[in-house]
Every structure is written in C-alpha cells, then in structure tokens.
A and B are shown apart, each in its own frame.
Chain A
Amino acid sequence: AQKVTQAQTEISVVEKEDVTLDCVYETRDTTYYLFWYKQPPSGELVFLIRRNSFDEQNEISGRYSWNFQKSTSSFNFTITASQVVDSAVYFCALSEARRETSGSRLTFGEGTQLTVNP
C-alpha cells in the first residue's frame, strides 16, 4: 500500500524567510510519480510539480525548489524568500506509474498549513 507522511501540520514563518516542507513516502512500486500541490484558501488544488522516480535531479523553479532523495524516500519542498501569498496548505502526493494516458490515483499526505506573516 502507498502512504505519504507530512509530519509538519503547521508552519509559521516571517516574510522573506526560507521554509522547507517535508514529505516522506512509502511504496512497493519501483516506478512511481511524486507531486506537490498548493491549496490556497479558495480551495482549488494547484499543481506545482511532478517527479518521476527515476529522476533524482533536484529542481528549481523561481523561489521553489524540490529535493528528491530515493534513499530516504523523501521529496522535500523549499520556498526561498517566502511571501505572504505563499500562505496555503501544501500537499505531497504519490501515484503509481501506469500508462500515461490512463491516469493514476493519487495518494495524498495530510498537508502542511504554511502561514507567512508580514
């Protein structure tokens, strides 16, 4: 069975601080995908990144960066120079790697509520 653990329930930082959101996963699959989603107060889930289990290169996109370490089953997310608009719930998720066109169910973690104070 697949499982995603986000141990940090809530994090509060002051604007411009860097913050890292932790994600640890469990799966028996050798091939899988990892995701991060942002859920602002409006409620919609906003896709941030998808990572294939074969690709362990870290990725940077603007102020966002992701550290994927297969050896520790972790896929951590760092926001550099946080801003008030980053305040949201962030979810880490895991899916099997089925055929691309058939889609795969996502297993979500419980989420981390990030509050960035001015």
Chain B
Amino acid sequence: EAGVAQSPRYKIIEKRQSVAFWCNPISGHATLYWYQQILGQGPKLLIQFQNNGVVDDSQLPKDRFSAERLKGVDSTLKIQPAKLEDSAVYLCASSSWGELFFGEGSRLTVL
C-alpha cells in the first residue's frame, strides 16, 4: 500500500514570496490533515478535511494560509505571503478508522 505522498520535500523562499505544498493521501482515506511542525516542537494541526469539506481550520492563519481539497483526494496548502516564522516542516496525514498515517513532510525555509 502506497503511503502519503508529499511534494516538494524542500523549499527555500524569501519572505513575502508564496509557496504551495501538495499532498496525496492513502487511497480511500476520507480524512486529510495538514500539520505544521516548527523545529524543536510537536506538530500542530492547521486544517482537517473530511472528503472535500473542512472539519477544523481554527488554527489556520487565514490571512496568509489557504488549503483546498478538490474532489476529496489530493490537497494543496498555500502560504502567501510567507513570513520568517513560517519556516517549518509541513506534514500531511490521512486517516482511516482513527489511525493517522503521515507523509515525510515538506520542509520550508523562509529567508
């Protein structure tokens, strides 16, 4: 069974630029999550989708972050404009029956 796929693995941008991350969940998983993991901290949920609907986006900084999951499969997370404090690993996860499976993450460095 293929795991959660994410791209790109690494991205370096300057502040005020934009960036987008892509996630392809495990086939058949209805629930998809985006987490932000700042260096030295635990992951923090940004947004949770159930199929193509948003279940929880209470911790998503909506002035600069946006996410979508068209057709209830792949998802993209966008940051525009990026700030220095957005430097982090962005983890995508999908779940079925309560167990979360994480991708390898996309590491963002904002200079």
A residues near B (Cβ < 8 Å) are: 4, 33, 35, 37, 42-45, 47, 50, 91, 93, 95, 100-111
Contact = CB atoms under 8 A, between A and B. Distances in A.
Interface in B51-103: 55-56, 89, 91, 93, 95-103
B48 interface: yes
Given A44-B104, A44-B105, A104 B44 contact: no
B41 A110 contact: yes
Contacts of A109: 42
Contacts of B102: 37, 44-45
Given A43-B104, A47-B99, A106-B100, A91 B42 contact: yes
Contacts of B93: 45
21 contacts: A4-B42, A33-B98, A43-B89, A45-B43, A45-B102, A47-B100, A50-B98, A91-B42, A100-B97, A101-B30, A101-B96, A101-B97, A102-B30, A102-B31, A102-B50, A103-B30, A103-B31, A103-B33, A104-B98, A106-B45, A110-B41
A50 B105 contact: no
A43 B100 contact: no
B48 A105 contact: yes
A93 B35 CA distance: 13
Given A102-B31, A106-B45, A111-B41, A47 B98 contact: no
